[in-house]
Every structure is written in C-alpha cells, then in structure tokens.
Structure 1
C-alpha cells in the first residue's frame, strides 16, 4: 500500500482524487486518519471507542460530501486538521444531546410520585448545598470540578485549558478540592 500524504500541496491533490471518486485513495485516506482521530477524541473528551469511531465516520462522511458538493475545493490546513474540526463540532453536539435527553426511568411513576417527592426535594436541597460550596471554594476548584464532572473534560484537557504543567497537577488539585468539599459538607450537615 503506497503512503497517502495529506499535507502541503498534497492536500489539494488529495481533494481532487476524492472529488474524482478514487475509491482506493479514499479507503487509504480513511484508514490513515482514523487511529489518530480516535486516540485524540477518546483522550480529550472521555468518550468510548465506539462513540469515537461513530464520530470519525460522521466526520469523514461530512468531509467526503463537502468535497463532492464542492463546498470545499482547497484547504489551508491538512485533511486531518479539517476532520478534527468537524469532529470537535460533532462532539459538542453529542454532549448537548446527552445533557438534554431525559431517560424514561428518570420520570417518576404516578403511583410513586408522592413518595418520590420527598426524595426529589432532598436531591434539590443537596444540589443547592453543592452549588453554594462550589461558589465558596472559588477558583481554581470551581473550574476544575465543573470541567471534569459536568463538561466531561479529560485531565489533560483541563491542564491545557487552565495552563497547568500537566495532568498530574490537575489530579492533585482536584483531590484537594474534593477534600475541601467533603469538609464543607460535614460542616453543613453538623451545622458548625
């Protein structure tokens, strides 16, 4: 199998081959870009291999049709970078969908709604306590915990976004933040 190059002037040639319908080249292009894409998205967005593969297939399909429909005729970057850009938009969409999905088992049944009301109120109260504690902790705890638990960022991504040396520093800070939260929860429960 000859090597497919997808950067520099080779990018324009690659787009031309895709547009012309060169199936052999298209398969090579797909296979060459897949491993790096899967590895990066699994590491930086905490998604499963199946989710990353699905994301890659959608990204590659969008790239293919953008070339075929002449939405792109040339790229300033290489094809890999273009695929990553599409993937980043798709992963944001995936997380938005997850956030807004309501599972049927999360909706209380009518006959148990009365008994569940107390549980729902207790959970709301606990969420309120956690929110107050996060506000009280301030930065960097608030950003680290929100990025990790609510936005599904990897430790490496958090380190990069917040300017820390590496993911080990973030892990240590996260542990210290969680320790502070435990102390605040104990204090909130005992009323001291």
Structure 2
C-alpha cells in the first residue's frame, strides 16, 4: 500500500490501492449522500447509486493516472465527479418527463356523457365538446393539459415552452375567454 495519506494531492493506484479506494468510499459516503439530498433533492437510494458510480469513475481515473498531482483534495474531486453525474441524471429525468408529457392523450377533452346526466347537462357537455374543437389548437392543448390531464402550471409551462408561469396564466385566461365566447354564442 502507498504510504501517502489518503487526502494528499497525489493519487495513484496499485495492487493495494483498492484498500485506499475502500477507505475513500467509506470516509466520504455519508457526506456525499447528504450533499446530494440537500443540494439536489435526491432520494437516498439515488444518492447512493450516483456515489457508487462516482467512486467507479474515480477508480478509473486513478488507473488512467488522471489523478496524479490533483490541485484539489480527493473529496473535492470525488464530489465534482458526483455533481456532474447528478446534473446529467437530472437532465435525463427532465428529458424523460418531457417525452412522457408529449405522449399524453390530447383527445381526453371528449368528456363522456353519462346516463345519469340530466338533459341540461348533456346539452351543456355536447356544446362544450363542440366549442373545444372550435377554439385554436394551442388553446385546446393548454386547456386539455390543465383540466383533463391534471398537470400543474409549472409542468405545462415547461411542456409548452413558455418563459414563465405568468405567461401561462395570461394565455390560460385568453383561452378560457375564447371558450366562454364560443359557449355563449351557442346559447343564443
């Protein structure tokens, strides 16, 4: 085993270096998990997975002699590896979420008319269906996401690429006004 201290700025790995790596793993595990949970809101299991991946990356970097003469401590280096892994993981989740939002059933505004609805309700629902089909596709999509798919304003803002939720609220107000005008024109 190397005689250098674990937190020196010169890291190399040899046959006995795995013992050193095990020590590094144990020494910084709890701090990294706390860091990942607090700073990035990760669950403990996600934090552990990323920490283990960061340790593997550290090991590979040691084998490739990339850790010789580091300008930082091993903890800082390890946390930097983990931080970039967390960021990539969060970007990937965001992309997956966006894809799942794109696969939503955008025809759900076809509200079923049930037998137990009164005649007035049935007429009102039929009118609503017709008006929803007549408003702009962008308004229809926004209202569908909000009322029929139950997404939050934040999710819809991200999905429709609005700059912020205020823009969404303004657009929602305009769309509801348009829908009301259509509904009222059928009432006359």
Shorter-normalised TM range? 0.5 to 0.7
Contact 2:6 2:20 in 1 (8 A): no
Equivalent of residue 68 in structure 1, options 63, 68, 74: 63
- Tell whether the 8 Å contact from 2:33 to 2:44 is kept in structure 1 after alignment: yes
Judged with a 3 Å threshold, the aligned counterparts in structure 2 of structure 1 residues 29 and 114 are, in CA distance, closer, same or farther, namely closer
Partner of 1:134 in structure 2? 166
TM superposition shift of 1:116: 4.5
- Which 5+ residue runs of structure 2 have no aligned equivalent? 111-131, 133-139, 147-152, 178-188
Give the corresponding residue for 1:122: 143
Greater helix proportion: 1
SS at 2:65 equivalent: coil
Runs of 4+ in 1 over 6 A off after TM superposition: 187-191
TM-score if structure 2 supplies the norm length? 0.55
CA distance in 1, matches of 2:75, 2:164: 43
Structure exhibiting the larger radius of gyration computed from Cα positions: 2
Shift of 1:29: 1.4
Contact 2:108 2:144 in 1 (8 A): no
**2:29 & 2:61 partners in 1: Cα distance?**
18
Give the CA deviation at 1:70.
1.5
Q: RMSD across aligned C-alpha pairs, in angstroms?
A: 3.8
